[in-house]
Structure 1
Amino acid sequence: MAELTESIYAGGAWHRSGTRERISVVNPANDRVIAEVTAGCAADVDRAVTAARAAFPKWSRLEASERLRLLQRLQAGIQERAEGLATTITSEMGAPVSFSRAAQIGLALRGIQSTIAAMSSIADERIGGTLIVREAVGVVAAITPWNFPLHQIIAKIAPALAAGCVVVLKASEVTPLDAIQLAGIIDDAGFPAGVFNLVTGGRETGEALVSHPGVDMVTFTGSTRGGRRVATVAAEGLKKVALELGGKSANILLDDADLARAVPGAVQQCFVNSGQVCAALSRLFVPESRLAEVESLAVAAAKNWTLGDPADVATRLGPLASRAQQAHVRKCIELGISEGARLLVGGPEQPKGFDAGAYVLPTIFSGARNDMALAREEIFGPVLAIVGYADEDEAIRMANDSDYGLSGGVWSASVPRAVSVARRLSTGQVVVNGASLDLAAPFGGVKRSGYGRENGKYGLEEFFNVKAVLGAGE
């Protein structure tokens, strides 16, 4: 077990925390403690924010091309250490190592590239005799989750740094190890001292960071409950806030969909990363006339999502990130059974052959109603609820009958028809026929899924203030 006592990175150097409290990092595949990091405290936050404020004037005035050059060096550093980072993420949150390599690391690398491309297109504008300029917001507090730890860090810090902001990162206490490795890569890349800073810790550290008077903006990804608290605390200082929160996204199979392709694709859209995806399409709306056919195909598809040791390259479904998350998902499955939904496959019990670890069986329900907790509450695990519908209008109405609005899906033999349905969905993103993730496209939600956008040009704009200079000439 590693004890990382110097896990505060501020002003270009590593520091011991102002507290002796430690947080254990547990491998969810076997319940073993693999490291201990400092719990963090308000003094650590103050050190990091002070360093960031001191670095901001010079960094924000640096030529954008120089900031992008450093981001390219960061990208190269991540690529160089990709295998070690993938192994770390697998150990700390349980993602299968093949998925860690392809997605946990791959998305981070693509995110930097998307940011560089977006920043390269930013330019001053003119409206008549008025000059429109963009200026960096300032000190950004970035608070990130455990499900895509490195990708979510990059989705926040890459555009912030490109825009000329400086960052204080608080990574999830469940997955701090990849963030600590990233800080070392940033240090090696030659970023000026104080431009990037890292504090470890849990809720108290996060609260101290959000409330710090030296912070100008907060970007947060996490639960809706956490987002409410961030917004409330940040409001005291009238800080700019971007929130990417929970989801209970609907996937609509239209009556002309190719079920042989759509159903396995829909199962994947729910089960990937063990269902620990804020944009997971966990409600599957199916024409009642084709319900039996969909159920059969879904059960067959679920058999391909076999559980296994995440360190094995053949494993497709690893454990959940923690025993606490496992307990939550099991409770949700039990509630679905008690509500009267039909369990097609899976269940709440510990999978056979897995005496240790936070494993959950891939689970599919049918006969779910849209008013059940199973179809309304975010589960964040490999649990799919199939809901029948009478016609297209009813499917859209039920899809929109949700507190959330982060993502959605439509499957149809006709792309124009699918797009027509997509336009009627109250959500920040819709995936047509299983389309691949586009990191140049905006990602974010409506309703209780938050506000603000990440990725590409739209994500970059979050980190600017816009200034109008009147009378600047033609």
Structure 2
Amino acid sequence: MKKQLTTISPIDGSLYVQRDLATDTQIAQALTHAHAVQKDWARQPIAHRIRILSTAIDRFVANKEIIAEGITRQMGRPIRYAGGEVDGFAARARHMLSIAEASLRPIQAPPQEGYTRYITREPAGVVFTIAPWNYPLLTAVNSIVPALAAGNAVILKHSDQTPLCAEWIHQAFVEADLPPGLFQYLHVDHDAVRRIIESNQVNVVCFTGSVAGGRAIEQAAAGRFIGVGLELGGNDPAYVREDANLGHAVETLVDGAFFNSGQSCCGIQRIYVAQRHYDAFVQRAVALTNQYVLGNPLDPATTLGPVVRASAADGVRAVIADALAKGAKNLIDQQVFGRADDGGPYLAPGLFVNVDHTMTLMNDECFGPVVGIMPVRDDEQAIALMNSSPYGLTASVFTTDEQAAIGIGQRLETGTFFMNRCDYLDPALAWTGVKHSGRGATLSQVGYEHLTRPKSFHLKRHVQP
């Protein structure tokens, strides 16, 4: 039985973190402690809860440089970008705290003579957050801070690749004097995760990860009738219409495809371009892609780091091989990036043309720096191709016609629709998906609904003696 967690840095293959896994006794103690303190926390005024959580955010941001370097060493994001995740963590957390009171206040029913009627939002109890490595802070914060603000206790299981993120968050809460037991982390394996969910001590599960992982979570929760939120990734499309600002579309979509080495659930993997702009779009996209600097992510000049591990790179290579075997052409010369493919985690970006939907690249999630580009005749063909996917996390349209964009967005099977942007999460809007991208929602006022349960109060004021 596995007794330790080990984190291998993708930078050089060295051992970076090693931790003992929690024992069954430690897991039981954590769950019991969470239940014991949650009731009192829920009775605290929301202003008090917000004050403590705000202090924790300040404490967290104070360690930005240490955290940023740790993110880079754990999962390979270039250091020039890693600090942005700390800033994003704080921005999302502060937004969710700013709307907490309004989101959690009772819902008043229409007046009815002789009755008082309203709906409260009760905390669910203990929230179990399971966070991935690719955006280790931004995915975790989506549920952790609003869950605590709503009066829940939280237990975090972070990815084995980014365990320090759980420890940093915990330390910030300790420094902010959050009552012990309200936020805890557990380093555990998959079997322990299953047993935690199957126990009667978890009330909500918030999972971000693969479709296979989401199925395992649902199976573990089956029959427990608890809240399960699943954000499972995507194969996200973009459409560049004839009236698009071509320069803006190229710049935005190339970044959307290759940021974080393409390891983003809402990253762009499929681009459909109006036939009139296709050749120009491809030419500009190639030129911009060739400006990336592939290398050691601790070097401030690096703009494209390794993928998370060599085995993940092998999965991307398989997708590339499938596309090439079926007639696709990669317009990016790997030698431009100064290194041959040595079978490790460093991958040059790939920009593929002559693609179609028989290729894995165009119909399944590929967590790497690759994107396919297809010409389309019109809106109808673009919509059909964009919807031709088992995923539905985000979709983007580039156009100067807002009404046309809205019309297209209404027909797309997606959780978030963008016009003239992509690969972005706005905490004021619900983060959700359809089809294999999952279910449930985090962030925005809607996010609080998934971390609480409604309780109706129906009071008859006058009773005849």
Where on the TM-score scale, by shorter chain, does this alignment land: which range?
Answer: over 0.9
Q: Secondary structure at the match of 1:236?
A: coil
Question: Is it true that 1:73 corresponds to 2:60 in the alignment?
Answer: no
Match of 2:81 in 1: 99
Separation (CA, whole Å) in 2 of partners of 1:350 and 1:265 = 21
Which of 12, 30, 37 is matched with 1:30 structurally? 12
Question: Is it true that 1:83 corresponds to 2:65 in the alignment?
Answer: yes
Match of 2:98 in 1: 117
Match of 1:468 in 2: 456
Separation (CA, whole Å) in 2 of partners of 1:413 and 1:275 = 27
After superposing on structure 2, the runs of 4+ consecutive aligned residues of structure 1 that deviate more than 4 Å are 346-351, 353-357
Separation (CA, whole Å) in 1 of partners of 2:234 and 2:313 = 18
Superposition TM-score, scaled by structure 1 size: 0.92
Question: Is it true that 1:438 corresponds to 2:426 in the alignment?
Answer: yes
Instruction: Give the letter aligned to residue 149 of structure 2.
Output: A
Separation (CA, whole Å) in 2 of partners of 1:348 and 1:449 = 35
Superposition TM-score, scaled by structure 2 size: 0.93
Question: Is it true that 1:63 corresponds to 2:45 in the alignment?
Answer: yes
Structure 1 stretches of 5 or more lacking a match?
1-18
- CA shift, 1:290, in A, is 2.7
Match of 1:454 in 2: 442
- CA shift, 1:437, in A, is 3.8
- CA shift, 1:52, in A, is 0.7
Structure 2 stretches of 5 or more lacking a match?
111-115
Instruction: Give the letter aligned to residue 431 of structure 2.
Output: F
Question: Is it true that 1:418 corresponds to 2:370 in the alignment?
Answer: no
- CA shift, 1:91, in A, is 0.6
Please give the per-residue CA displacement for 1:9-53, whole angstroms capped at 9, x wherever unaligned.
xxxxxxxxxx88212211101111112112334433222111111
Relative to structure 1, the CA distance from residue 291 to residue 275 in structure 2 (aligned partners, 3 Å threshold; closer, same or farther) is: same
Please give the per-residue CA displacement for 1:172-194, whole angstroms capped at 9, x wherever unaligned.
01110121122122111111111
Instruction: Give the letter aligned to residue 275 of structure 2.
Output: E
Instruction: Give the letter aligned to residue 59 of structure 1.
Output: W
- CA shift, 1:473, in A, is 5.8
Please list, as runs of the form range in 1=range in 2, the aligned pairs for 1:186-335 lying within 5 A after superposition: 186-335=173-322
Instruction: Give the letter aligned to residue 36 of structure 2.
Output: A
Aligned residues: 455
Instruction: Give the letter aligned to residue 32 of structure 2.
Output: T
Separation (CA, whole Å) in 1 of partners of 2:369 and 2:226 = 36
Q: Secondary structure at the match of 2:184?
A: strand
Instruction: Give the letter aligned to residue 438 of structure 1.
Output: D
Separation (CA, whole Å) in 1 of partners of 2:451 and 2:328 = 45
Separation (CA, whole Å) in 2 of partners of 1:434 and 1:284 = 13
Which of 349, 353, 364 is matched with 1:362 structurally? 349
Which of 114, 120, 124 is matched with 1:137 structurally? 124
- Of 337-346 and 268-277, more deviation after overlay is shown by 337-346
Identity among equivalent positions (%) equals 30
Q: Secondary structure at the match of 1:164?
A: coil
CA RMSD of aligned residues (A): 2.0
Separation (CA, whole Å) in 2 of partners of 1:43 and 1:450 = 32
Please give the per-residue CA displacement for 1:79-131, whole angstroms capped at 9, x wherever unaligned.
111111111111100011121111x1111001111111120313112113411
Native 8 Å contact 1:137 1:464 kept in 2: yes
- Of 203-212 and 363-372, more deviation after overlay is shown by 203-212
Q: Secondary structure at the match of 1:394?
A: helix
Q: Secondary structure at the match of 1:241?
A: strand
Relative to structure 1, the CA distance from residue 289 to residue 56 in structure 2 (aligned partners, 3 Å threshold; closer, same or farther) is: same
Relative to structure 1, the CA distance from residue 125 to residue 204 in structure 2 (aligned partners, 3 Å threshold; closer, same or farther) is: same
